[in-house]
Amino acid sequence: MIHSLKTNSCLPVWYLLEDKGEIIGCAGLITNDLISRMDLWSWVCALYIEESYRGKSLGEQILLKLKEDTKDAGFDNLYLCTNHVGYYEKYDFIYIGDGYHPWGSSSRIYRANLIKL
């Protein structure tokens, strides 16, 4: 995170949600999320909302901001890998297949098309 503050590259970028100076959520835009599909980018990573703040559409707000910034950076798609089923589909991410991690496990890969934004 520290190095991303000093880069001229559009990636990585980190987002924090705060409430009264306390970090309550986060997410990142990165070039790859340790998945075998190095041909795809950019990627959402580390989306997290503190449990006491869930149910307030904060995850949706972060995803919308990530999509907007990704499109503004010139990308047509935004990707993520997860084994959660049912959450990201609500935000127009479509399952496109499985990817594989260096440690041998697999994750589902999702894509959000940004051209229509």
> How far apart are alpha carbons 93 and 63 in whole angstroms?
10
Q: What is the mean pLDDT of the chain?
A: 94
116 pLDDT band (50/70/90 cuts)? confident
Sheet containing strand 43-49, strands side by side: 13-19, 22-30, 43-49, 77-82, 106-113, 94-100
Task: Report, as an integer, the average pLDDT of 22-40.
Answer: 95
Contact between residue 88 and residue 66 where contact means Cβ atoms under 8 Å apart: no
| Residue 102 confidence (pLDDT) | 94
Task: Report, as an integer, the average pLDDT of 53-74.
Answer: 96
Q: Has residue 117 got a pLDDT over 70?
A: no
Residue 100 burial by Cβ neighbours in a 10 Å radius (0-12, 13-18, 19+): middle
Contacts for 26 with CB less than 8 Å, ≥ 6 apart: 14, 15, 16, 17, 46, 47, 48, 62
